[in-house]
Amino acid sequence: MTPVLLGRDLHKSYGPTPALRGAGVGVGAGEIVAVMGPSGAGKSTLLHCLAGVIVPDRGEVYFDGDRLDRLPDRRRAELRRTTFGLVHQFGQLIPELPVAENIALPLLLTGRPWRGCLAAAREWLARLDLRGLDDRRPGELSGGQAQRVAVARALVARPRIVFADEPTGALDTAGGDVVMELLVGAARESGTAVLVVTHEPRVAAFADRAILMRDGAESVRSPRRVMAPCSWPSPTTTTAAR
């Protein structure tokens, strides 16, 4: 499987503190990959580099064969609106907006007609068992409901990849399982790849493959499917699986 997303030899420091020390991962189209590790291992920093939220100090990030890390801020932000989906640990919903508008936001930011955006949002409300919550504000939702809204917002634009940073970290076990079942099921149905950062083995069990990080680099790779050699400019194998 040729990766649609590839990070190679990534380094990132915050002041004198290194967060990444040569980390890398490849994600194939439609593949679900879990990045595991203890707090401070660099998991979230790796995800943010791969999603174009931050630029690594050294190393390379490719998306569809093009250097993502060399794109200007505006282009990376456009990808996060149209091609990438993001799910954060605490949802990060906009408290002033009703649920339907929170979900529709990625579509609205592209300038699409309001009515069509809200119709797409309501479809996701139905798919994620959130019917009747269109006009509620985030503060009126349970933690599990709010996180399902965040999943719907990440998927509404039919992205190529969803980046999920500890998506169940604020939920109990049952609520976390529901969110992961919905995220993984919807992603598989649409062929969307998922990169999920977690410290929970239960969450990683939903993935096709898990990578364990320590001290800013991968220490263990546990592939269930082996990726084929990458056809992009060197190396001859991906850093996610050899």
Residue 171 has pLDDT above 90, yes or no: no
Type of residue found at 48: H
Residue 196 has pLDDT above 70, yes or no: yes
Q: What is the pLDDT of residue 233?
A: 40
CA 195/CA 50 separation, integer angstroms: 9
Q: Is 159 in a helix, a strand, or coil?
A: coil
Residue 221 has pLDDT above 90, yes or no: no
CB atoms within 10 A of CB 167: 28
Q: What is the pLDDT of residue 223?
A: 45
Least confident range from 139-148, 187-196, 229-238: namely 229-238
What pTM was estimated for this model as a whole?
A: 0.86
Rounded CA Rg of the chain: 17
Mean pLDDT of 105-122: 92
The chain-wide mean pLDDT, for the chain, equals 86
Residue 6 CA, chain-centre distance (Å), reads 14
